[in-house]
């Protein structure tokens, strides 16, 4: 890889000579502007507004436009004279957990390569220290004429640096969130969770740019004298209409995701977390209500069975008393005396 910047990492009193190389590249298909009448290429010319003449690159300089439109010329010598400690140094200022870096600040990515054999030992030391601490390094550096903020982290066995936007370059999200208050039901959240679980994880290496592939196929077809790629049939394009029935849309999404993964597309099992409990309770109540009459009936039957027995016993006792009263007492017969 071709280096775009040479300098050193300043790690306290340790200096690590490094080369900066781009970690990313654009694979987008680029187009040229042409004159549609004859196919001739259209080029931009840099023209001076005062005399209308084209200006060669050697005569083009920099200027700052003031609020009133006045141009203040700025030369390369002016910029070079400014105190810029990080002109050739990536100066580490702190080590912080990676979670403290807002992804909104992420910018371009670079690989830092050890520049020369003497740099291998301190480079490895910093790399292993970053690994063991499970932190990232915040650093300042200068690139293309201005000071920037960067984050150093380990990727495989290489130290990578992400350019970061300064905190004051991040806009506050004012007026972006929906102004209308909306209530999301638990059932909708449960279906959203089910959709997330169905989509699952993905191997990032399998993702690719389908649009770029289609553009390349279309260009190849035209280069061979064809008419390009047939336009999509009506209904195949993704629409931007409003979702009317959110629950139906979520259920359809879950079905489609399951079918794409070769799984059962039945969504009847996707019930809200509270629904299963709510559905389980009524049968229990019904069972209890069914059992209650049985208990009452058995109690009545028991009392009914016990009541006649008690009455019968009471009647028998009363009859015995009455009979005892009516029957006269027998006189004791005198014993015979023996002479």
The set of residues, in sequence order, having a beta carbon less than 8 Å from that of 149 and lying 6+ positions away, is 105, 138, 139, 140, 163, 164, 165, 166
Residue 337 within a domain: no
Whether residue 51 lies inside any domain: the answer is no
Half-sphere exposure of 111 (CA within 13 A, CB side): 15
Please, what's the largest Cα pairwise distance for the chain?
Answer: 182
Whether residues 110 and 4 share a domain: the answer is yes
For residue 231, tell me if it sits in a domain.
no
Same domain, 15 and 118: yes
Give residue 235's pLDDT. Answer: 55
Domain boundary residue among 170, 191, 209? 170
Evaluate whether residue 328 is within a structural domain.
no
Inside any domain, residue 322: no
**C-alpha closest to that of 91 among 161, 174, 176:** 161
Alpha helices in the chain (DSSP H): 76-80, 120-133, 186-199, 210-223, 246-260, 273-326
Q: Residue 125 in contact with residue 78, Cβ under 8 Å?
A: no
249 in any annotated domain:
yes
Buried-state track 128-140, b at ≥16 Cβ within 10 A, e below 16: eebeeeebbbbbb
Work out the burial of residue 173: count CB atoms within 10 Å of its CB; fewer than 13 is exposed, 13-18 middle, 19 or more buried. exposed
- pTM above 0.85? no
Q: What is the pLDDT of residue 336?
A: 45
* Contacts for 55 with CB less than 8 Å, ≥ 6 apart: 46, 47, 48
Both 184 and 105 in one domain: the answer is no
Instruction: Say if residue 5 is in the same domain as residue 104.
Output: yes
Residue 56: inside a domain, yes or no?
no
* Nearest-angstrom CA–CA distance, 105 and 169: 8
The secondary structure of residue 30, as a DSSP letter, is: P
Task: Answer whether residue 20 is part of any domain.
Answer: yes
- Together in a domain, 278 and 147: no
Instruction: Looking at the structure, tell me whether residues 130 and 278 fall in a common domain.
Output: no
- 94 DSSP β-pair partners: 138
Give me the residue label for tokens 């080029």: 43
Picking from 127, 144, 170, the residue at the C-terminal end of a domain is: 170
**What is the residue range of 17's domain?**
1-24+81-170
Residues 9 and 140 in one domain: yes
The C-alpha angle with vertex 20 and arms to 18 and 24, in degrees rounded to 5, equals 145
Q: Are residues 203 and 166 in the same domain?
A: no
How many domains does one find in the chain?
2
- Same structural domain, 18 and 161: yes
Look up tokens 């993704």; give the residue.
Answer: 238
> Which residue, 130, 147, 121, 152, is CA-closest to 15?
121
- CB-based contacts of 286, cutoff 8 Å, min separation 6: none
Mean pLDDT by 10 residues, the chain (339 residues): 88 91 90 93 93 94 93 88 81 93 93 94 96 94 88 96 94 89 89 85 87 89 77 57 68 80 61 47 47 45 46 49 47 44
Same domain as 111, residue 161: yes
Give 287's strand partners.
Answer: none
pLDDT of res. 91: 93
Ordered DSSP codes for 200-242: ----GGG---HHHHHHHHHHHHHHTT---PPPPPTT-SPP-PP
* pLDDT attached to residue 276: 45
Q: Using DSSP bridges, classify how beta strands 3-11 and 14-22 pair: parallel, antiparallel or unpaired.
A: antiparallel
Strand partners for 7: 18
Q: Residue 12: which CATH number?
A: 2.40.290.10
Same domain membership, residue 206 and residue 139: no
């Amino acid at each position: 890889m071709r280096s775009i910047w040479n300098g050193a990492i300043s790690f306290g009193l340790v200096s690590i000579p490094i080369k900066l190389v781009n970690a990313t590249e654009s694979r987008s298909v680029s187009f040229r502007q042409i004159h549609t009448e004859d196919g001739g290429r259209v080029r931009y010319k840099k023209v001076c507004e005062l005399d209308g003449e084209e200006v060669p690159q050697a005569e083009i300089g920099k200027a700052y436009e003031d609020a009133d439109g006045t141009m203040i010329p700025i030369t390369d010598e002016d910029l070079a004279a400014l105190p810029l400690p990080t002109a050739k140094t990536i100066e580490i200022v702190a080590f912080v957990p990676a979670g403290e870096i807002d992804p909104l600040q992420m910018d371009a990515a670079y690989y830092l390569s050890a520049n020369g054999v003497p740099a291998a030992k301190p480079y490895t030391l910093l790399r292993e220290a970053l690994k063991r601490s499970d932190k990232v390094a915040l650093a300042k550096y200068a690139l293309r004429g201005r000071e920037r903020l960067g984050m150093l982290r380990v990727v495989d066995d290489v130290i990578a640096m992400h350019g970061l936007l300064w905190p004051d370059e991040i806009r506050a999200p004012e007026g972006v969130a929906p102004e209308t208050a909306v209530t999301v039901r638990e059932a909708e959240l449960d279906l959203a969770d089910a959709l997330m679980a169905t989509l699952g994880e993905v191997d990032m290496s399998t993702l690719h740019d389908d649009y770029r592939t289609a553009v390349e196929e279309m260009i190849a077809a035209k280069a061979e004298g064809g008419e390009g790629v047939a336009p999509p049939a009506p209904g195949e394009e993704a629409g931007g209409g409003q979702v009317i029935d959110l629950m139906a849309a979520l259920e359809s999404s879950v079905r489609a995701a399951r079918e794409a993964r070769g799984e059962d597309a039945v969504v009847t099992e996707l019930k809200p977390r509270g629904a299963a409990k709510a559905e389980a309770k009524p049968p229990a109540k019904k069972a209890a209500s069914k059992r209650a009459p049985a208990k009452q009936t058995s109690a009545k039957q028991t009392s009914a069975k016990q009541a006649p027995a008690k009455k019968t016993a009471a009647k028998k006792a009363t009859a015995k008393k009455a009979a005892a009263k009516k029957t006269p007492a027998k006189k004791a017969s005198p014993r015979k005396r023996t002479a």
